[in-house]
Amino acid sequence: MKSKLSYVDLFSGFSVFLIALPLSVGIAVASGAPPSAGLLAAMVGGMIGSWLGGSALTINGPAAGLIVIVVGAILDLGQGDARVGFQRATAAILVAGLFQIAFGVLKLGKYGVSVPTSVLHGMMSAIGISIVAKQAHVAFGVAPESKSILGLISEIPHSFANFNPEVLVVALFSAVILLAMMNLPEKVTRLLPAPLVVVMVGMGLAGFLDFEHEHTVAAHMATMVAGPKFLLNIPDHLSSLILLPDFSVWASGMFWKWVITIALVASLESLLSAVAVDRMDPWKRTSDLNRELVSKGVCNSLLGMIGGLPIIAEIVRSTANIKNGATGKTSNFIHGVLILVFVALAPGLLHKIPLSALAVILIFVGLRLANPKQLFHLAEIGHGHALAFVATLAVTLYEDLLLGVFCGLLVELGYAIFFGKSVGALFKIRFQKEHHDSHLELKVNGPVVFTNWTGISDEIERVNKKKKVRLDFSEALLVDHSTIEQLDRLRSQGYTADHLEVVFHPTHEKIAHHPMSGLVKKRGKK
């Protein structure tokens, strides 16, 4: 049995390595960081994060969801100097890791999974749009002038009209391959992941078009230059990958803004990924969310010391890990080791990867993150949730991510106050606790929403399936969508009717027709 499990984990680790290698490099380049920063993140996340982490099947590494944050930190902290900006950003990553360790030690993991879905989807959609806005110019082979997201979007027609023909050829072939591979059987894409195939074909095209030597290309009744600047640039030796952090701006408000942003977003994404992976785990194991935070904090502090990108528990690679039959943390460790071995033995191959091929891979990732179906889904659950999504998305694109999330949370709070008819009760759950021989009963007297749900979840965790819990929501004016989601999550973790009973009043009505919609109790009815 042991040999079979080790073989399965070895195969899964190798398959994840094939996905992670091009993505780690592409995410680093898209972040405005050295390509080596993404490789270091995958190595540390795999080899160290796997054993420290509190989740059995998650894969750690750099993620598309942090691209916008790292780009912003480099631009703001570097003031036009990309290298200095990155070294100052790594200092912020180091300190953000210490914050994450503190979050875990203080057992704050439970709060991360209570953030409303509308805000999370709005945040990820804004990140997806930002990725597409930036990478479109790379795929066309044109350097945009704007640094803002809205400016980059407005410049896309100009870049399209002035594309570099050879760069665009590589991008178009890459897009065709990705589209074609979406329709292939899963057993094929397990052995040949689409990102790897795109990179391999892109390398072949770049070689055929002689990207390794600078040359001119006729285009738009003019001549353009193609050559090495459109290929990945990475050091030849492992020792050259290391970049030390720069703490010269540690006393500025800008520095601490990025520390807080990195710590919060990286923690939030990791926690949600861990919960999502738990739902897919064939063995129904439950992640230790606080240990996950400590693990990511240790890794991110280490990465800040050596010049790596911040890591999270990455959902796409984790999903591939599960589909490949992984049984535990070994596959995560193996994928990190394989990236280290590849970089040590074959760094020259990385030089041949065309940037436009990586750009297309990331554009597809961005489009998945920004899927408009999320907005329509939220509108079915409740129009207030759709409004929170739009607020988060719009403010993030116009201003920044932290302010966007704050605005989305404000909209959700307003929505809860409108139905819950109370402000103070939204932040402290009110319930009576009754102990019976067969069960523990919690009679809730106020609204149950995302800001006070943890008071209920703490009581459920203390019982820990040893005794049945009966949640009596009969007197709750509002049971919001986030609470319904948390109840659904508990059921997916094995809390059956024998462990957890939920009681509503006959007058409770769905806010919308969707099964996951919140419920509101009609006033004046008994």
Q: What secondary structure, in 3-state letters, does 130-187 show?
A: HHHHHHHHHHHCCCCCCCCHHHHHHHHHHHHHCCCHHHHHHHHHHHHHHHHHCCCCHH
Amino acid at 112: G
Compute how many other C-beta atoms are within 10 angstroms of the C-beta atom of residue 144. 19
Please list the residue range(s) of the chain that carry CATH number 3.30.750.24.
424-521
pLDDT digits (tens, 9 = 90+) for 228-247: 999 998 877 767 789 999 99
- Rounded to an integer, the average pLDDT of 115-138 is 96
Percent of the chain's residues with pLDDT above 70: 98
Lowest mean pLDDT of 65-74, 292-301, 423-432, name the range.
Answer: 423-432
Backbone angles phi, psi at 53, to 5 degrees: -70, 160
Confidence label for 4 from pLDDT (cuts 50, 70 and 90): very low
Looking at per-residue pLDDT, the higher value among 304 and 344 belongs to 304
pLDDT for 426 beyond 90? no
**Helical residues (DSSP H) of 242-381, grouped into ranges:** 253-280, 289-306, 315-323, 330-345, 347-350, 355-369, 373-381
In the predicted model, what is the mean pLDDT of the chain? Answer: 93
Confidence label for 3 from pLDDT (cuts 50, 70 and 90): very low
DSSP string covering 196-250? HHHHHHHHHHHHHTTTTS-EEEEETTEEEEESGGGB----SSGGGG------TTT
pLDDT for res 523: 64
3-state percent breakdown (helix, strand, coil) of the chain, nearest 5: 65, 10, 30
Q: Residues with Cβ < 8 Å from 463, sequence gap 6 or more? A: 440, 469
pLDDT digits (tens, 9 = 90+) for 405-422: 999 999 999 999 999 888
Max distance between CA atoms of the chain, in angstroms, equals: 86
Sheet arrangement for strand 519-521: 478-479, 519-521, 508-510
- Rounded to an integer, the average pLDDT of 22-49 is 96
Q: What predicted TM-score, i.e. pTM, was given to this entire model?
A: 0.93
Our separate counts of H helices and E strands in the chain read 22, 11
Q: What is the Cβ-side half-sphere exposure of residue 204, based on CA atoms within 13 angstroms?
A: 7
Confidence label for 1 from pLDDT (cuts 50, 70 and 90): very low
Backbone angles phi, psi at 509, to 5 degrees: -125, 145
- Which of 50, 52, 32 is CA-nearest to residue 144? 32
Show the tokens assigned to 416: 């809860």
CA distances from 372 to 115, 154, 515 (A): 20, 20, 20
**What is the pairing mode between strands 478-479 and 519-521?**
antiparallel
Percent of the chain's residues with pLDDT above 90: 84
Terminal C-alpha separation, the chain: 59
pLDDT for 518 beyond 80? yes
Q: Which residues pair with 441 in a beta bridge?
A: 434, 470
pLDDT for res 2: 42
pLDDT digits (tens, 9 = 90+) for 152-200: 999 999 999 999 999 999 999 999 999 999 999 988 888 899 999 999 9
Q: Which residues pair with 231 in a beta bridge?
A: 354
Show the tokens assigned to 479: 């049971």
CA atoms of 199 and 153, how far apart (whole Å): 26
Pair 19, 195: CB distance under 8 Å: yes
pLDDT for res 240: 77
- Phi/psi region, residue 245 (left: phi>0; alpha: psi -120 to 50; beta: rest), is beta
Looking at per-residue pLDDT, the higher value among 187 and 299 belongs to 299
pLDDT for 525 beyond 70? no
Compute how many other C-beta atoms are within 10 angstroms of the C-beta atom of residue 51. 12
pLDDT for res 524: 56
pLDDT digits (tens, 9 = 90+) for 282-291: 988 999 999 9
Show the tokens assigned to 193: 């992941």
- Burial of 337: CB neighbours in 10 Å, binned 0-12, 13-18, 19+: middle
Pair 46, 335: CB distance under 8 Å: yes
pLDDT for res 206: 97
**What is the pairing mode between strands 508-510 and 215-219?**
unpaired
pLDDT for res 257: 97
Considering the domain 424-521 in this protein, what is its CATH number? 3.30.750.24
pLDDT digits (tens, 9 = 90+) for 454-500: 999 999 988 877 789 999 999 999 999 999 999 999 988 888 888 89
Lowest mean pLDDT of 53-57, 164-168, 319-323, 496-500, name the range.
Answer: 496-500
Amino acid at 237: H
- Which of 483, 386, 378 is CA-nearest to residue 431? 483
Compute, in degrees rounded to 10, the torsion defined by CA atoms 337, 275, 364, 75. -80
Query: Looking up tokens 């399936």, which residue turns up?
Result: 465
CA atoms of 166 and 443, how far apart (whole Å): 68
pLDDT for res 186: 87
pLDDT for res 462: 87
Q: Which residues pair with 500 in a beta bridge?
A: 469
Looking at per-residue pLDDT, the higher value among 348 and 335 belongs to 335
The SS3 assignment for 438 reads coil
pLDDT for res 237: 74
pLDDT digits (tens, 9 = 90+) for 69-112: 999 999 999 998 999 999 999 999 999 999 999 999 999 999 99
pLDDT for 521 beyond 50? yes
